[in-house]
Structure 1
Amino acid sequence: MKQKIVMKVYMSCQKCRTKALKVVAGAYGVNFVGLEGEEKDKLVVIGDGVDAVKLTNCLRKKVGQTEIVSLGEVKAS
């Protein structure tokens, strides 16, 4: 089951964005990582078997304040 996770990460600089993207891209089951929002402060993660809670905790330790905005299944079209 593919799922889409949208997380708000409080990133103050470009270095923080790069670090957050590297942390998420290295996680098990991640197929796609992207930034969205006006200030590029939301991380979009699409993958199969991704643990959203573990990923959020890892981002909190390595980057800073992180919260899950939405979590849902990706519909195949």
Structure 2
Amino acid sequence: MKQKIVIKVNIHCQKCRSKAMEIAAVADGVISVAIEGKEQDQVVVIGDGVDSACLVKRLRKKVGYAYLVTVEEVKPKEEKKEEKKEEKKGEKPTCQPQCHGYPYFVHYETVDEPNPSICSIM
């Protein structure tokens, strides 16, 4: 499902604008990134299966204040059969995003009996 995500970001210079676009462009599933809005402070991301919360979190860490404005489904216009996705040669394997939670640790607890029973074998 293609979706259009609009994120308002605190952009006050060209460097912040390009940094925000770079961060959005490397996210998994992103097809296109654009800067829109009256004050050029909205990052518009169009993609398939993009994790919008994770993207906002990354923008907050790297650029500054950011919040999610809208997430809406992009309805396809009559697609031609010729425009099917083609496999790209030499494509890098995709990495899992880092914001899926904390690693799982197994905790073992040993229990010592205060009065062990006397063993008949010994």
Normalised TM-score (structure 1): 0.97
Instruction: Name whichever structure is richer in strand by fraction.
Output: 1
Aligned length: 77
User: Post-superposition shift, 1:37?
Assistant: 0.9
Instruction: Name whichever structure is richer in helix by fraction.
Output: 1
User: Post-superposition shift, 1:38?
Assistant: 1.5
User: Post-superposition shift, 1:9?
Assistant: 0.3
* Aligned match of 1:74: 74
Partner letter of residue 12 of structure 1?
Answer: H
Between the aligned residues of both structures, percent identity stands at: 56
* Aligned match of 2:24: 24
User: Post-superposition shift, 1:71?
Assistant: 0.4
In structure 2, what is the Cα distance between the partners aligned to 1:24 and 1:75? 21
User: Post-superposition shift, 1:24?
Assistant: 0.4
Identify which of structures 1 and 2 has the higher relative contact order when contacts are C-alpha pairs closer than 8 Å and 6+ apart.
1
CA RMSD, Structure 1 to Structure 2 (Å)? 0.5
* Aligned match of 1:52: 52
Partner letter of residue 19 of structure 1?
Answer: K
Any gaps of 5 or more consecutive residues in structure 1? none
Any gaps of 5 or more consecutive residues in structure 2? 78-122
